[in-house]
Amino acid sequence: QVQLVQSGAEVKKPGSSVKVSCMTSGGTFSPYAISWVRQAPGQGLEWMGGIMAIFRTTKYAQKFQGRLTITADESTNTAYMELSSLRSEDTAVYYCARAPTYYSESYFDYWGQGTLVTVSS
């Protein structure tokens, strides 16, 4: 059974960065793409970007260009999402989600449990 296990909750100051990990178990990491989706409190789902690990290529939503870095370590079956220049509006639950293909531009069949990132001074 495929599982995506994310790192724990974070509290960050405005202007700082956060790095969240997502480890895949019970299945192969490659060739599937991993995306990051966030959900602000009481709000809907927002796709941030994704990585095609097999090709080591990334795609980001325009909104996050320049602030978001997604990486993957195939040796540990782990994907990472780093968001910089944090502001209060970045307070959200961040999910990693696996696509059933190597394209980031896909639907998502497995999801991590979510990581709450709180940005507060």
Partner 1 sequence: DIQMTQSPSSLSASVGDRVTITCRASQGISTDLAWYQQKPGKVPKLLIYAASTLQSGVPSRFSGSGSGTDFTLTFSSLQPEDVATYYCQKYNGVPLFGGGTKVEIK
Q: Which residues bind partner 1 (CB under 8 A)?
A: 35, 37, 44-47, 50, 59, 61, 95, 97, 104-109, 111-114
Check if the beta carbon of residue 68 is closer than 8 Å to that of residue 49: yes
| 47 vs 80, beta carbon nearer partner 1 | 47
Beta carbons within 10 angstroms of residue 67's beta carbon: 16
Smallest distance from partner 1 to CB 77, Å: 19
Given the structure tokens 């970045």, which residue do they identify? 90
Smallest distance from partner 1 to CB 61, Å: 6
| 29 vs 94, beta carbon nearer partner 1 | 94
E strand intervals along 1-121: 3-6, 10-12, 18-25, 33-39, 46-52, 57-60, 68-73, 78-83, 92-98, 110-111, 115-119
Smallest distance from partner 1 to CB 56, Å: 20
Q: What values do phi and psi take at 80, rounded to 5?
A: -130, 145
Smallest distance from partner 1 to CB 95, Å: 7
| 73 vs 105, beta carbon nearer partner 1 | 105
